[in-house]
Amino acid sequence: MRGTIIYGPNDIRFEDRPDPVIAEPTDAIVRTVAACVCGSDLWRYRGIAEVTKPTPIGHEYVGIVEAVGSDVTTVKPGQFVVGGFLTSDNTCALCKVGAHANCLHGTGYDGCQAELIRVQNADGTLIATPELPDEAMIPNILALSDVMCTGWHAAVSAGVKPGSTVVVVGDGAVGLSGVLAAAELGAERIIAMSRHEDRQRLALEFGATEIVAERGDDGVERVKELTSGIGADSVLECVGTHDSVEQALRSARPGGMVGWVGVPHVADLPQRHMFWKNVGLRGGPAPVRAYLDHLLDRVWNGHIQPGKVFDLTLPLDQVAEAYAAMDERRSIKTMLIP
């Protein structure tokens, strides 16, 4: 088969690789129907995170089950499936309390921007759709593999509930998914911080009620103007930089909560924006499997269309161009079709 390897900054190659095989009885092999590039993949592409050797890359996918190991009981060859960006057994002590991203037996993938994928912990990771989806449905399901569940995790971690006032920091695919999640959870007002017109438009379509283009002190000031001077009940931090974490903490009202899903590029968190203001912070990698059933239902019945974050589709063998398009912000998120 062919799959994507990152060799270093700006060096993405689509190459022949050995077909993955069932190595454990709990494995499945999935033939990719669609995959995509994650904002977090760009950290390595941009040289911010190190690439020490050529590495298979990608962790978001949907596909058709090709084969399953002898212990797999919940999915079978021929089914259309989606799985999260980390595998989980869905049975360990941490999965039982909904912390699937920290599953005691969880694993990553040996590259999902590929024609075939080995999925470990298949029973605890994959969910099959009721039947084969039509083409228009595929991006919506693909979005559940990471960004929609990650946006949902931000909103849940930030305690969004009916009537909440919410700020979303970050207008990438995760931030936009966070807007959609906040709307689904009943937020009354959703302030999306965005400076890009195409992303602002999608934020509004997903349920944002206001757009704030300012950042830093001006952004905080503008949020306060919109929230009776006190800040938002819940803030979704969907970037991970020092500035965005500060932006998020400072946009929360006293007693408010920041849901934190931007992969952090900060070593420490500024206590001064937290304790005396009673502003909390909670989040991390999303426990996809904890949300997947529920969100797949909402997608399958047409209630939400998180796949709208995909504004460019390319053949999988043009994966290098997909990275370039996202890096240069020509695309919010790019879908890849083998």
**94 counts as binding a copy of itself under rule CB under 8 A:** yes
Q: How far is CA 207 from CA 46, 154, 176, 328, in A?
A: 31, 16, 9, 26
Stretch that binds a copy of itself, among 11-19, 118-126, 247-255, 292-300 (CB under 8 A): 247-255
Q: 140 or 164: whose CB is closer to a copy of itself? A: 164
Q: Tell me which of 36, 233, 292, 319 binds a copy of itself, using CB under 8 A.
A: 233
Chain-centroid distance of CA 88 in Å reads 16
Q: Where are the beta strands (DSSP E) in 164-262?
A: 165-169, 189-193, 210-212, 232-237, 252-260
Residues 6+ apart with CB under 8 A from 97: none
Residues in contact with a copy of itself, counted by CB under 8 A, come to a total of 40
Report CA Rg, the chain: 19
**289 counts as binding a copy of itself under rule CB under 8 A:** no
**257 counts as binding a copy of itself under rule CB under 8 A:** yes
Residues 6+ apart with CB under 8 A from 331: 311, 312, 322, 325
Q: What is the dihedral of CA 242, 245, 251, 255, to 10 degrees?
A: -130
Q: Tell me which of 101, 174, 181, 202 binds a copy of itself, using CB under 8 A.
A: 101
**315 counts as binding a copy of itself under rule CB under 8 A:** no
Q: 12 or 174: whose CB is closer to a copy of itself? A: 174
Q: 115 or 237: whose CB is closer to a copy of itself? A: 237
Q: 141 or 155: whose CB is closer to a copy of itself? A: 155
Binding site for a copy of itself (CB under 8 A): 93-94, 97-99, 101-102, 104, 157, 228-230, 233, 253-255, 257, 260, 263-264, 266-272, 274-285, 287
